[in-house]
Amino acid sequence: MIEKANIETASDSSEMKNLERVKGRKVGVVGMARSGLACAMLARELGAEVFVTEAREECALDSELQTLKEVGATFETGGHTDAILESDYVIVSPGVPSDSSIMQSIHDAGTPVFSELEFASWFTRGKIIALTGANGKTTTATMVHEILLQGNYSAELCGNIGTPLSAVAMKVKRNDVAVVEVSSYQLEFVDQFAPDVAAILNITPDHLSRHKTFENYRLAKLRITEAQEANQKLVLNADDSGLDALTVQTSARRMMFGSEKVMDASSMDSELRSVFLRGETIFCQFNGAYVKLFDCESLQIPGRHNIENAMAAAACCLAFGVTLEAIREGLLSFAGVEHRIEYVATIDGVQWINDSKATNLAATICALEAFESPVRLILGGQGKGEDFRELQSVVRDKVTSIVALGDTKEEVFSALGKTVPVEFATTLEGSVLLLSQTAQVGEAVLLSPGCASFDMFTDYEERGKVYKDAVKRLAKKGNDN
């Protein structure tokens, strides 16, 4: 339950001003998924008149509608009418495309539009560490959260990772921290969102069906720093060519992470080098000196991409003022996150790995590069306009065979069918069954789709759960024989 705001005891003018932006106002919300529902509840708690519009039919929304009724919000389902235009301003859920007809009507009416992230940040009294990027957001945000807990901070992990910032905004007190995973969708309608520490992990082509061009996608990511000020920090990846860190415009203090070789090659100023990789050891800049953090082999999670994630997390926490001891302890005890190169089971000498979080090709490449054993790959889903030929090199080196499924299965076959054998499956469970008959001892079966999940599932989490359930049934069947 969201805590009630104590409007009468708001302790400073900015807090009172933000409360005045919602109390007694007509607030419209587009979308009734997790973030839309959470911001509708928050707005009601703060005294707004709330109207929610949702395209899905009422029969699919039992729990959502019950919640809205309980808090006294009004709503419509089954499509969008002009009723939303009566709002003083509109909060848009990240899943609603900015070029949809309802959003076009709102823009034409001149109604101000904010993202759920922006709205929730108005009422977050504590500090905010916000991370965005094409890949690694969930892992890195979780690493940061673990480090903060090691440092005895009170911290909430939220945002694109599953729990909306709106759901925890009033819980985050002045000395607490919200660690927020931020997607490009959530950044489309920010205005004053200014994290105390922001991080851009990497920028590779993703969500091009939404953003249309790579440059539009890049600009959406850069919005995380637009409102930052000189007393705030921006953590950037020196190694990422898509980001081009040294050209990013910001008022915040830059702090870089990446390989020492790249930093040397770019003649980067020494004060920018926050965390860097020298050989197989991670160092950081602390009190004007370079200090060893740990050897890469000490990390519990595999893959070069996780070394990068660990450096990013360390840089964020250094920027926030966390001790080196807490950073070391948090990272070296970190065992990974669900749906990201997640070990499921070993059955008859074959490892089964869940990487459902890989929703673009760069993530699939990272996953494949983490394996030394031969891989049987489950690939495909709802495409994002990427070319599967980008996988040819790593597939040739790492993959024994592919099972393709979803909307893009024909594209997978066309791009990779001459590189390795490609078979089709109509369901994810069918993929598991097929590979259980072909995978050999010493191999790994990897679900790393490189695509969105929406052609077959609600989200990547449901896809990962279906995969894990199918593997567990396979393991039980083997034990019963």
Q: Whose structure tokens read 């759960």?
A: 465
Q: In this structure, what CATH number is given to the domain that contains residue 172? A: 3.40.1190.10
The count of domains in the chain is 3
Same domain, 240 and 353: no
Same domain, 85 and 171: no
pLDDT for the residue numbered 478: 64
Same domain, 351 and 425: yes
58 is a domain residue: yes
- Residue 39, domain extent: 7-111
Same domain, 165 and 185: yes
Same domain, 267 and 142: yes
pLDDT < 50 regions, the chain? 1-11
Same domain, 379 and 455: yes
Same domain, 439 and 362: yes
3-state SS class at 21: coil
Alpha-carbon gap, residue 176 to 155, rounded angstroms: 6
306 is a domain residue: yes
Query: Could you tell me which residues are beta bridge partners of residue 404?
Result: 379, 424
337 is a domain residue: no
Nearest to 88 by CA among 117, 112, 105: 112
Q: In this structure, what CATH number is given to the domain that contains residue 475? A: 3.90.190.20
119 is a domain residue: no
Domain boundary among 79, 111, 143: 111
Q: What is the pLDDT of residues 51-96, one digit of tens each?
A: 999 999 999 899 999 999 999 999 999 999 999 999 999 999 888 8
Q: Give, for 235, the enclosing helix (H) or strand (E).
A: strand 233-237
Domain boundary among 111, 135, 164: 111
Q: What is the pLDDT of residues 416-474, one digit of tens each?
A: 999 999 999 999 999 999 999 999 999 999 999 999 999 999 999 999 999 999 999 99
Q: In this structure, what CATH number is given to the domain that contains residue 27? A: 3.40.50.720
Sign of the Cα pseudo-torsion (307, 309, 310, 314, in order): positive
Same domain, 326 and 362: no
250 is a domain residue: yes
pLDDT for the residue numbered 4: 37
Tell the burial category of 246 from Cβ atoms under 10 Å away from its Cβ (0-12, 13-18, 19+).
Answer: middle
Domain boundary among 274, 301, 332: 332
In this structure, are residues 42 and 166 in contact, taking their beta carbons and an 8 Å threshold?
A: yes
pLDDT for the residue numbered 262: 94
210 is a domain residue: yes
Q: What share of the chain is helix, strand, coil (3-state, %, to 5)?
A: 40, 20, 40
3-state SS class at 423: strand
Same domain, 99 and 179: no
118 is a domain residue: no
Phi, psi for residue 423 in degrees, rounded to 5: -115, 160
In this structure, are residues 471 and 344 in contact, taking their beta carbons and an 8 Å threshold?
A: yes
Same domain, 213 and 141: yes
Q: What is the pLDDT of residues 182-194, one digit of tens each?
A: 998 899 999 999 9
- DSSP labels, 371-400: -SS-EEEEE-SB--S--GGGGHHHHHHHEE
Q: Which value, to the nearest 10 degrees, does the dihedral of the CA atoms of residues 187, 192, 198, 204 take?
A: 20
**List of residues 6+ apart from 370 with CB closer than 8 A:** 302, 303, 304, 305, 306, 341
59 is a domain residue: yes
Tell the burial category of 345 from Cβ atoms under 10 Å away from its Cβ (0-12, 13-18, 19+).
Answer: middle
Same domain, 381 and 305: no
Same domain, 304 and 435: no
Number of other CB atoms surrounding residue 16 within 10 Å: 12
